[in-house]
Structure 1
């Protein structure tokens, strides 16, 4: 049985991935500093998977703690989710993002190299494409960023690519997510943002459940079908499945491999609101406001490379994504 280290494994995407890794036969060890998640998530993972993963409340910047962990376990690979992810906060606190996301990854890689564990799957983001000239976006598009969060993701991609070039024993998989939404079908685990959500969907569900008063739709004058921004929304369970595929295929891959993870379909903000209302029967009170700086008109993926090389493609449609998101929120109105 292969043992995989999952950093940030009690977070939104991490927790869904851990359940699928366990189902696929991996032994999972989680580290998470719990800055944006709760230890209670482990109880939910155990309830859904029948297994309680080994857990350490470590920070990826703690070299000594990581070294001890790598001496204790023989990891075949690392799936690296741990990172700060709020775009707005990153513009206010750039050093916090560079320290945590970039310096933390450097520390992690130093410990991995020392231990001879040279397989890493990195949780990257479509933000590395900046404002793309055309859609759909392929992995060969030029990269650029519009905020420190995106810059931190791109820096880590460059660091991992340079590391692999310097030592061909490394296999690096960079997974560029589009917009993860949804939750586990059971409604037992899901997205639980701290404070006010940064992303559209938890905001919509929190308005519907009565936790927030209204949704602000930032701009309705984009060159899109209804004037609101268009994004590629992907079910978190589909995203988790891609990480399992990558972990299973690491031995067959070599070099640095980059994959877009999306559905290849763009939906506008109003598509999301209208579909959510029809799926749940809940009205979503919203107001059109000014555009946000740094937002782009449209962004969706060409994910055909992941299908060819990982045998992965997104399976779940928008209606199922929204039903599952609502089941989680209505079962857990205050999150965990």
Structure 2
């Protein structure tokens, strides 16, 4: 049984990936400083998998503390690196904080991978690396435009750092560029827990629908799209999580063709913000209170994936429809409310 270190393991995608890894035979340890996550989410994951999850509360920007994880676990066979700040708008306001955290933690975890001879590394990247593309859907070979936000820039730089690191060592790497993860685990025991006002669309929708927020804002109505709002590729978080397990399988079985490999993780369909709102209203039966505001700094106009490479080389197939994504997100929001009132 391979031991895998998941950084940012208490985060939204991290916790779903831990569950998928364990259910596919991996032993998992987690590290998270919980600055942007809730450690209580581990309890839900432990109920799903029926065992405890070993979690280190460590800031990866501290190299000495990070090394203690590897000193105590010298048999780590792979790392999945999620740990990063991820709010586009916040990154525009606080760029230096994003560069320091996202890149400093990545450099430290790669130093440890080299020092402790960890052979496999999966990097959590993003479709933000494409900037505002000239043509969509984007493939892995689509030329990268300047990032529209410091967050996107940290993902572009992160990919360069990982690429240089694997070229100079025996480390094998995969860069997973995913689009917009949404929804929750079907058990409704784990899901997204935004800290403060949500920066992402779907939790903003569900929190408005349930009354946590009085109303929500759609950022921009003058984009050159079907209805004037931005177009994104929304994908269920469990589909994203399983792709990480498949990526590790590929590396461990030495089936990667190049180093590092790059895969887009999206459904291949683009939906506007207003279309997502309508899909939620149809699924939940709740009429949403929203207003149209100005464009938000850092947002690209439209992007969705060509996912053929992930399908053919990873054997990955996203299974959930937009309506299923909205339904699971709404059930998770209702569960959070029930847990709070019970």
TM-score normalised by structure 2 residue count: 0.95
Task: Give the structure 2 partner of residue 87 of structure 1.
Answer: 88
Task: Give the structure 1 partner of residue 26 of structure 2.
Answer: 26
Task: Give the structure 2 partner of residue 49 of structure 1.
Answer: 49
Contact 2:88 2:150 in 1 (8 A): yes
The alignment status of 1:290 with 2:294, answered yes or no, reads: yes
The alignment status of 1:147 with 2:149, answered yes or no, reads: yes
- Determine helix, strand or coil for the equivalent of 2:260: strand
Task: Give the structure 1 partner of residue 16 of structure 2.
Answer: 16
Q: Deviations over 1:221-249 (max 9, x none)?
A: 22211121111000000000100101111
Q: Deviations over 1:174-221 (max 9, x none)?
A: 000101100011222111111111110000000000000111111222
Counterparts in 2 of 1:99-114, with a 5 A limit? 99-114=100-115
- Determine helix, strand or coil for the equivalent of 1:173: strand
- Determine helix, strand or coil for the equivalent of 1:65: helix
Counterparts in 2 of 1:169-318, with a 5 A limit? 169-251=170-252, 252=254, 253=256, 254-318=258-322
Q: Deviations over 1:58-109 (max 9, x none)?
A: 1112222222221221100000000001111111211111111101111111
Q: Deviations over 1:124-175 (max 9, x none)?
A: 11001000011000111112311111111111100110111222x1111000
> What's the offset of the Cα at 1:335?
8.6
> What's the offset of the Cα at 1:122?
0.6
Q: Distance in 2 between matches of 1:228 and 1:38?
A: 32
Contact 2:229 2:273 in 1 (8 A): yes
Q: Distance in 2 between matches of 1:299 and 1:217?
A: 17
Contact 2:92 2:297 in 1 (8 A): no
Structure 1 unaligned spans of 5+: none
Task: Give the structure 1 partner of residue 328 of structure 2.
Answer: 324
TM-score normalised by structure 1 residue count: 0.97
- Determine helix, strand or coil for the equivalent of 1:120: strand
Q: Deviations over 1:21-67 (max 9, x none)?
A: 01001110000000111221111111111011111101112222222
Q: How large is the RMSD of aligned CA atoms in angstroms?
A: 1.3
Q: Distance in 1 between matches of 2:276 and 2:34?
A: 30
Contact 1:329 1:335 in 2 (8 A): no
Q: Distance in 1 between matches of 2:274 and 2:92?
A: 27
Contact 1:22 1:51 in 2 (8 A): no
